[in-house]
Amino acid sequence: MDCEFSSRIGHVPPSFLREIFRVIADERIISFAGGLPNPNLFPTAAFARAMQATLDESARSALQYGATEGIPELREVVAKSYVQKDDIEVSADHVIITNGSQQGLDLLGKVLVNENDTIAVESPTYLAAIQALSLYRPSFLSVPLNDNGLDSNALEAVIEEHAPKLLYTIPNFQNPTGLTYDDDVRKRVVQILKNRRTVLVEDDPYGEIRFEGERRTPFAKYKDDAVLLGSFSKIVAPGLRLGWIVTRDMDLYDRLLIAKQAADLHTSSLIQHVVYRYYRDNDAQAHIETIAAHYKKQKNAMITALHKHLGDSITHTNPEGGMFIWATLPERVDTAKLFRLAVEEGVAFVPGESFFTSDAPKNTMRLNYSNSTPSRIDEGVRRLSRALDRYDF
Site residues (CB under 8 A) for a second copy, limited to 202-231: 225
Q: Residue 273 or 309: which CB sits closer to a second copy? A: 273
By CB under 8 A, tell whether 292 contacts a second copy: no
Q: Residue 128 or 341: which CB sits closer to a second copy? A: 128
- What is the nearest approach in angstroms of a second copy to the Cβ of residue 223? 11
Q: Residue 37 or 352: which CB sits closer to a second copy? A: 37
- What is the nearest approach in angstroms of a second copy to the Cβ of residue 158? 16
- What is the nearest approach in angstroms of a second copy to the Cβ of residue 6? 5
Cα distance between residue 279 and residue 282, in whole Å: 6
By CB under 8 A, tell whether 114 contacts a second copy: yes
By CB under 8 A, tell whether 380 contacts a second copy: no
Residue 4 burial (CB count, 10 A) = 6
By CB under 8 A, tell whether 118 contacts a second copy: no
Cα distance between residue 15 and residue 362, in whole Å: 16
Give exposure, 232-269, as e/b (b: 16+ Cβ within 10 Å). bbbbbbbebbbbbbbbbeeebbebbbebbeebeebbbb
Q: Which of 24, 77, 82, 103 binds a second copy (CB under 8 A)?
A: 103
Cα distance between residue 377 and residue 298, in whole Å: 8
Cα distance between residue 187 and residue 182, in whole Å: 9
Phi, psi for residue 42 in degrees, rounded to 5: -65, 135
Cα distance between residue 155 and residue 168, in whole Å: 12
By CB under 8 A, tell whether 44 contacts a second copy: yes
Radius of gyration of the chain (CA): 21
- The span of 73-81, 194-202, 211-219, 324-332 binding a second copy (CB under 8 A) equals 194-202
What does each C-alpha distance from 63 to 60, 266, 274 come to in angstroms?
Answer: 6, 12, 11
Please tell me whether the peptide bond between 176 and the residue prior to it is cis, using omega within 30 degrees of 0.
Answer: yes
By CB under 8 A, tell whether 239 contacts a second copy: yes
Site for a second copy in 142-171 (CB under 8 A): 165
- The span of 95-103, 183-191, 212-220, 286-294 binding a second copy (CB under 8 A) equals 95-103
Closest C-alpha among 294, 320, 313, 321 to residue 377: 294
By CB under 8 A, tell whether 123 contacts a second copy: no
Site string for a second copy, 315-354 (x = CB under 8 A): ----------------------------------------
Which H helix or E strand runs over 150? strand 149-150
Cα distance between residue 163 and residue 155, in whole Å: 11
By CB under 8 A, tell whether 309 contacts a second copy: no
- What is the nearest approach in angstroms of a second copy to the Cβ of residue 258? 5
Site string for a second copy, 55-84 (x = CB under 8 A): x---xxxxxxxxx-----------------
By CB under 8 A, tell whether 27 contacts a second copy: no
